């Protein structure tokens, strides 16, 4: 990457196209997800080397629970294997791990693996890797709204104290800056219920490349494209 100025502080990625990648090669979808996990590992290393402070990966949406049971079961096993395997490597790289979403729906063994990974990397001061798992933007907004309503009912909040900052502090992403750049692979041009509140002024980058084929070089091209944009925030 030639130009390293104006690197986005927070990059979010919708990792789409694992199934299409596998179908194009007459492979089972599980192979696409496995290859996609390998791509994620490479992109995490690349983002860290480039100086990105926050990287959010959309791994499994709240709508993905509607997929065939066997596929969901295999994905849960893959997530647990990946988190357990990569925990030490990420910790050695001083990377902090956070997981956001409705984690109550996850299998117990996966929840245990997530808790260990989050706790063991909590003191790391390098890049923060946020994994969106069982995540839905609308569900997150409802969750925040219910928290705020409870504060109001308990007399801990006055109506005039409700601000954007307060609302943001009740989201799963509290203490995480809004994404500067959101990348989606596989040719789909929508954000699919991902970081709806947080993406109000996010720059978007769409590519036809399926996620398993998304290379560090193409990632750098997305960052270079971001650097050409002028962000006015409505001014």
Predicted pLDDT of residue 4 = 57
DSSP 129-154: EEEEEEE-HHHHHHHHHHHHHHHHHT
CA 175, 177, 178, 183 torsion: positive or negative? negative
Q: What is the domain range of residue 194?
A: 10-141+177-227
| Counted domains in the chain | 1
149 within a domain of the structure (yes/no): no
Whether 77 is in a domain gets the answer: yes
CA dist list (Å): 169 to 40, 74, 122, 142, 214: 28, 34, 19, 13, 33
- What pTM was computed for the model? 0.94
**Local structure of 89: helix, strand or coil:** helix
Which residues, at least 6 apart from 82, have a Cβ–Cβ distance to it below 8 Å? Answer: 37, 40
What is d(CA 184, CA 127) in angstroms, rounded to the nearest whole number?
21
Catalytic residues, which ones?
A: 16, 64
- Indicate whether 2 belongs to any domain: no
List beta partners, residue 129. 55, 97
Q: Is residue 70 part of a domain?
A: yes
Sheet of 128-135, strands arranged across: 96-100, 128-135, 54-61, 10-14, 181-184, 203-206
Q: Are 114 and 106 a contacting pair, CB within 8 Å?
A: yes
Residue 34 lies in a domain: yes
State how far the Cα of 108 lies from the Cα of 87, in Å rounded to an integer.
18
The reply to whether 154 falls in a domain is no
Please list the residues that pair with 55 across neighbouring strands.
11, 129
Ordered DSSP codes for 59-70: EEEGGGGGS-HH
Q: 174: how many CB neighbours lie within 10 A of its CB?
A: 10
- Domain-located, residue 23: yes
Q: Is residue 152 assigned to a domain?
A: no
| CATH number, position 221 | 3.40.1180.10
In sequence order, what are the residues at sequence separation of 6 or more whose Cβ sits closer than 8 angstroms to the Cβ of residue 83? Answer: 97, 110, 113, 114, 117, 131
Residue-level pLDDT, tens digit, the chain, 235 residues: 445 568 999 999 999 999 999 999 999 999 999 999 999 999 999 999 999 999 999 999 999 999 999 999 999 999 999 999 888 889 899 999 999 999 999 999 999 999 999 999 999 999 999 999 999 999 999 999 999 999 999 999 999 999 999 999 999 999 999 999 999 999 999 999 999 999 999 999 999 999 999 999 999 999 999 999 988 877 7
């Amino acid at each position: 990457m030639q130009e390293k100025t104006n690197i986005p502080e927070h990059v979010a990625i919708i990792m789409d196209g694992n199934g299409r990648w596998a179908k194009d090669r007459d492979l089972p979808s599980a192979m696409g997800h496995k290859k996609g996990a390998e791509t994620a590992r490479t992109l995490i290393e690349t983002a860290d080397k480039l100086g990105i402070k926050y990287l959010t990966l959309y791994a499994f949406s709240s709508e993905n629970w509607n997929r065939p049971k066997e596929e969901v079961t295999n994905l849960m096993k893959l997530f647990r294997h990946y988190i357990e395997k990569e925990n030490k490597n990420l910790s050695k790289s001083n990377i902090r791990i956070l997981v956001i979403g409705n984690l109550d729906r996850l299998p117990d063994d996966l929840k245990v693996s997530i808790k260990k990974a989050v706790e063991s990397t909590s003191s790391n001061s390098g890049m923060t890797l946020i994994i969106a798992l069982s995540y839905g933007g609308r569900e997150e907004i409802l969750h925040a709204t219910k928290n705020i309503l409870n504060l109001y009912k308990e007399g801990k909040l006055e109506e005039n104290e409700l601000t954007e900052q307060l609302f943001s502090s009740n989201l799963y992403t509290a203490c995480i800056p809004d994404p500067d750049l959101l990348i989606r692979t596989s040719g789909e041009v929508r954000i699919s219920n991902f970081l709806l509140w947080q993406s109000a002024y996010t720059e978007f980058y769409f590519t036809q490349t399926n996620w398993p084929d998304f290379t560090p070089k193409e990632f750098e091209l997305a960052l270079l494209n971001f650097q050409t944009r002028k962000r006015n925030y409505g001014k």
